[in-house]
């Protein structure tokens, strides 16, 4: 959903939303959140990445604002940034990884636009997780690819995330 009024970047940045919202060319957009499968998947992925973070020299962050262009801000489900943590309140340089987790209400065109924003910003690794179908995809400008071995990897192979771990049943 989109609000009717247009907002300046400054207004957006000084306003808190619960849950946080994205900002696209003056419009503030709600995100699809709040479902158990999405939340569990997001939490579990962040935990898996935390366990790999020291060895990989990275930090995983959840739901942080990423300024992908002068008037576009996205709020990915999970990002991974190289150490040290970026200064400031928002991410203004391309993260190493952006992970989006699908919600049943997500629309194909909207997700395509989000992924294009990440590619245009220079994010080298974009992954898309579908918790309902228990599938993970590596995203490129050419489309989505489900790894044959079921392992999501950064382009340099430094970080791996097996889909079997992402979708492991809760203990």
* pLDDT for position 106: 86
* pLDDT for position 3: 44
Q: Does any domain span residue 171?
A: no
Quote the number of domains for the chain: 1
* pLDDT for position 171: 64
Q: Is 150 left (phi over 0), alpha (psi -120 to 50) or beta?
A: left
Residue 39, domain extent = 33-166
Q: Does any domain span residue 153?
A: yes
Q: Does any domain span residue 16?
A: no
* pLDDT for position 123: 99
* pLDDT for position 104: 85
* pLDDT for position 170: 66
3-state secondary structure of 144: strand
Q: Residue 146 maps to which CATH number?
A: 3.90.1570.10
Main-chain dihedrals φ then ψ at residue 61, nearest 5 degrees? -135, 145
CA atoms within 13 A on the CB side of 64: 24
Q: Does any domain span residue 18?
A: no
Q: Tell me the pTM.
A: 0.91
Q: β-pairing, 58-62 with 27-29?
A: unpaired
81 membership: H or E segment, kind and range:
strand 78-82
* pLDDT for position 4: 55
Q: Does any domain span residue 155?
A: yes
Neighbouring C-beta atoms of residue 121, cutoff 10 Å = 19
Q: Does any domain span residue 53?
A: yes
Q: Render pLDDT for 128-146 as a digit per residue (tens, 0 to 9).
A: 999 999 999 999 999 999 9
Which residue carries 């599938």 as its tokens?
135
Q: Does any domain span residue 26?
A: no
User: Which residue positions in the chain have pLDDT lower than 50?
Assistant: 1-3
Q: Does any domain span residue 108?
A: yes
């Amino acid at each position: 959903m989109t609000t009717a009024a247009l907002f300046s970047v400054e207004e957006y940045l000084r306003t808190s939303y619960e849950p946080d919202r994205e900002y696209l060319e003056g419009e503030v957009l709600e995100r699809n959140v709040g479902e158990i499968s999405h939340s569990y998947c997001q939490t579990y992925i962040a935990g898996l990445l935390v366990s790999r973070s020291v060895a990989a020299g990275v930090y995983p962050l959840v739901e942080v604002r990423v300024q992908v262009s002068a008037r576009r801000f996205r709020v990915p489900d999970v990002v991974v940034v190289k150490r040290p943590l970026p200064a400031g309140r928002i991410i203004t340089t391309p993260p190493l990884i952006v992970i989006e987790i699908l919600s049943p209400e997500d629309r194909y065109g909207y997700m395509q636009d989000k992924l294009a924003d990440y590619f245009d910003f220079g994010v080298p690794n974009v992954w898309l997780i579908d918790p309902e179908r228990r599938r993970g995809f590596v995203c490129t400008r050419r489309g989505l690819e489900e790894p044959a071995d079921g392992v999501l990897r950064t382009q340099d192979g430094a970080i791996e995330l097996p889909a079997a771990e992402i979708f492991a049943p809760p203990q």
